Structure 1
Amino acid sequence: MQFTRTLPRELVHRAAVAEVFLTDAERSGRDEVLLAAQLPRHHAFYHDTLGPRTRHDPLLLLEACRQGIFVVAHRYFDVPLGHKFLLRAIDFEVPDPAALARGDRPTEAVVATRVEHRFRTRAGVTGLRLRFTLAIGAREALLARIDYSWMPPQDWTRLRARQRGALGLPEVPVALSVAHVDPVLVGRRDPANAVISPPRAADDGSRTALLVADTSHPTLYDHWVDHVPGMLELEAFRQLALTAAVAAGTVRTPTALPVGLAVRFRCFAEMDLPLECRAVADPAGTGVECTLHQSGALAADARITLADPDAPGRPAVLAAPAVHGAV
């Protein structure tokens, strides 16, 4: 596996070369692919933290895996460039938090990728479930599973026009203007990286906030999409979960790491309608239940396991996800 140059940006659906983390791909069996990734020493989004900058953000490792879903589809399942993709479910755990340590050079990782399931319609294979084992050196740093599907652009256009029309929305969305939370409350330095509004506390201990869809964000909106990206939804869940866990006393600071996550995307999240995120921390542990609602419908739900950086917790065992709505 080579780490000297990135894969073509169009192959991983990124506009900026700096946002491409994969450097190689090699089929090792009918259902196995090896991916190579180089993780940057410093990234303006994933390494923006008030805590010690000594560990990689697990969501950075997840992003490397997410880029792999496109490589596998385009290179090994002959999905044409230009097809549209839907995230349906994501699960991950950090089996060895010490493997997240950052050194004085870019981190080289190898991602063993396995096709666990092919989703089929009468048209053939229209989606996959992939299992990822991301290793840094000899240590497993992330185990992940992603369910996703794809469709031709003309089908996407019809689907999105029908869905937005049913909500009374125009063809081209314009993101709502929402005030950002103080970044310190979610463990960030840069206000642009705070993606929720100031949280509100309820009597039951839950926290609610609105998702902030900033289409000028260079990472979360690396290129234009007509909905709220799945990775932005994950970040909103993470940030609100941190505020809930700190308030409940289950973690000490909002710089705690997400060491386990299971999320299901139920439907598209529109950026021009309010998206309310709700988080409830488990007082007996480090898990936080999160939901995202829009117009009375559940758009996504998740469970996040957090651990303080100097005392990482043990994440839940990675379970096989079911396929749900698209995002």
Structure 2
Amino acid sequence: MLTSRTALVVADEAPAGPPCAGQVLHEQTVPRHLVHRAAVSEVFLTDLRIVDDTTFSVGAQWPRDHSFYRLPSPHRHDPMLLAETIRQAALVIAHQVFGVPLDWKFMSHETNYQITTAGLALGARPADITLTVTCHDVKRRGAKVAGMGMDVTCHRDGRQIGSGSVRWSCVTAAAYQRLRAGVGDRVPPPGTPAPSAPPVSRGLVGRDRSRDVVLSPHDRRGSWLLRIDRRHPVLFDHPVDHVPGMVLQEAARQAAALLLGRPGLVPAALRFTFDRYVEFDSPVVVTPVRRAPATTGALGVGVEIEQDGRVAAQGLMDMRIVD
């Protein structure tokens, strides 16, 4: 059996070997293919260790600055780093522990997180993060795992700073091709120019670059159009045949800022469900509304994401100010 430290240096497209027990390390990232990333710079996970048959420790590190996951505040990490870390943790456990083949396709059905303001503090060094992940409701298709739920607690410097969960399923590459038959003809080719629709003003959504704005004005009052730039190096790290869930969550975050008129607010808690794939070839409407928050002192915003007259995804965020 390879140790976890050994597994990290295995060639990028080879199996990295099963994880072992022990305390997680934060020395280097896991192989990028295990978290479905093309750029090494977008890999936040550093280690995976076994606690018991259903519980695992995952190491991660959050950079002091990131090209996309960043806030106007110079003192805090972007809470969406936790959302991406949970996404990556689900993938590495699926592949390394449950043996899901690397060419199988994943579908996220539900995801959520919540994090404390103190947990977002920007220190003198990158933040070393440890996730404890408990797997439950494991679904199988024959001998293969076909999906499960995962509950997550997030620790930093020995203190719990957040939690979350994710529910996902997966299918073989052949089954995915059947499921998505005909979609390939609707996907813009690589190198497609940036969208012609103008972005909303970057300052209104807490961004300092227009290329990071994912919303455009819409004729319907109180709604915006999803602005898809498939050349974005983070949101579209590699070619895909549908709009990724992290893009939809970012659209919800920016729509909440527009609704509240307060771009300095951040989603300290987020709950999202995904009902269907969001395609590239028809308009996507993002509509935020005020909702009751789940936590005291926050401003609650619900967001619906519609395409072709049907809800494709929806979320609820607790927006807070961080200094």
Q: TM-score, normalised by structure 2?
A: 0.86
User: Hey, what does 2:102 align to over in structure 1?
Assistant: 81
CA displacement at 1:287 relative to structure 2: 0.6
Gaps of 5+ in 2: 1-23
Report which stretch shifted further, 2-11 or 170-179. 170-179
Aligned to 1:132, which of 152, 161, 164?
152
Distance in 1 between residues matched to 2:178 and 2:30, nearest whole Å? 31
User: Hey, what does 1:178 align to over in structure 2?
Assistant: 197
Distance in 1 between residues matched to 2:205 and 2:220, nearest whole Å? 15
CA displacement at 1:105 relative to structure 2: 1.1
User: Hey, what does 1:320 align to over in structure 2?
Assistant: none
1:195-214 deviation per Cα after TM superposition (whole angstroms, max 9, x unaligned)? 11136673xxxx20011111
Contact 1:181 1:198 in 2 (8 A): yes
Letter in 1 for 2:212: N
Distance in 2 between residues matched to 1:305 and 1:187, nearest whole Å? 16
Contact 1:181 1:199 in 2 (8 A): no
User: Hey, what does 1:12 align to over in structure 2?
Assistant: 35
Distance in 2 between residues matched to 1:27 and 1:272, nearest whole Å? 43
The answer to whether residue 134 in structure 2 is matched with residue 119 in structure 1 is no
**1:102 and 1:199, CA in 2 relative to 1: closer, same or farther beyond 3 A?**
farther
Letter in 2 for 1:39: W
User: Hey, what does 2:176 align to over in structure 1?
Assistant: 156
Q: TM-score, normalised by structure 1?
A: 0.85
3-state secondary structure, aligned to 1:38? strand
Contact 1:85 1:149 in 2 (8 A): yes
1:106-131 deviation per Cα after TM superposition (whole angstroms, max 9, x unaligned)? 11011111102213445653101111
Superposition CA RMSD, Å: 1.9
Distance in 2 between residues matched to 1:137 and 1:256, nearest whole Å? 25
CA displacement at 1:260 relative to structure 2: 1.3
Aligned to 2:319, which of 285, 306, 309?
306
Percent of residue pairs bearing the same amino acid type: 36
The answer to whether residue 299 in structure 2 is matched with residue 286 in structure 1 is yes
Aligned to 1:60, which of 73, 81, 86?
81
Distance in 2 between residues matched to 1:98 and 1:236, nearest whole Å? 25
1:152-207 deviation per Cα after TM superposition (whole angstroms, max 9, x unaligned)? 11111111115x4xxxx8253367643211110101101111111136673xxxx2
Counterparts of 1:1-327 in structure 2, within 5 Å, are 1-47=24-70, 49-50=71-72, 52-94=73-115, 96-121=116-141, 124-161=144-181, 164=183, 170-173=185-188, 177-198=196-217, 202=221, 207-246=222-261, 253-282=262-291, 286-310=299-323
3-state secondary structure, aligned to 1:37? strand
User: Hey, what does 2:9 align to over in structure 1?
Assistant: none
Gaps of 5+ in 1: 247-252, 311-327
Letter in 2 for 1:300: A
Distance in 2 between residues matched to 1:101 and 1:198, nearest whole Å? 33
Contact 1:58 1:142 in 2 (8 A): no
Letter in 1 for 2:214: V
